[in-house]
Structure 1
Amino acid sequence: MYFGGMPALIGMKYFTSLTILRIFEQDITNLKSLIEIASTLEELWICEGQLKDLSGIENCKRLRKVFLYDNQIEDASPLSRLCALETLHLMNNSINNLTVSQLNINCCAYINFLFLFAPV
């Protein structure tokens, strides 16, 4: 889904087999509704929007690829429970201080792409 107008994830429970969710340029600010598709979701793209709160993403244990670039995210700690991660893209957010221990990358044995900050 592209180009503004969607302020929240609603009705996700109807997508019982959804493995990839791609949303761009929307007004979504949180991910709490992901609990409805947590058991199947493997790839998540919520980019170029207003996303601030990652609470709820930790329930998506099967997530392998997460793209959350160009948002308003300040706290990346909910990502620390995603041990299946292979790709994480967080560039261009409002994260001021982020350490490897906060992300708990140590549990992500499969991580092979990690994009955290905007170029200098």
Structure 2
Amino acid sequence: MKRWVFASVSTLVWVSSAWADGDAGAGAKVFAQCSACHTVGAGAQNSVGPVLNGIVGRPAGTYPSYRYSSAMRKSGLTWDEDALKTYLKEPGKFLPGTKMVFPGLASDADLANIIAYLKQQPAE
């Protein structure tokens, strides 16, 4: 019986850590929701929203030539994984005054996957 409990705990830990890392391939599909306003990749240009290349680790409100809201420019945020997860879950609640009108991603799996995808987008 102890062996079964240990195996269950090991399995749960493995599943939990695999989920926490997200799946960039699945995140590319989630990004389809974002692509109405944002772009990524070589040659990406600002649109309704800023380019998201290199977003992970970038100070908020700093992508060149994009007109950010005052709230975003003055936020003092750096887009680490935790900040992105919280923002993408409820943008307007997390940062009142943001220009992003997207209602948010409810699924923790979608959040993990989109962050994994964004982490793959290098700064230009």
TM-score, normalised to structure 2, is 0.22
Q: Looking at secondary structure, tell me which structure has more strand per residue.
A: 1
- RCO higher in 1 or 2 (8 Å CA, sep ≥ 6)? 2
Higher-Rg member (1/2): 2
Q: Looking at secondary structure, tell me which structure has more helix per residue.
A: 2
TM-score, normalised to structure 1, is 0.23
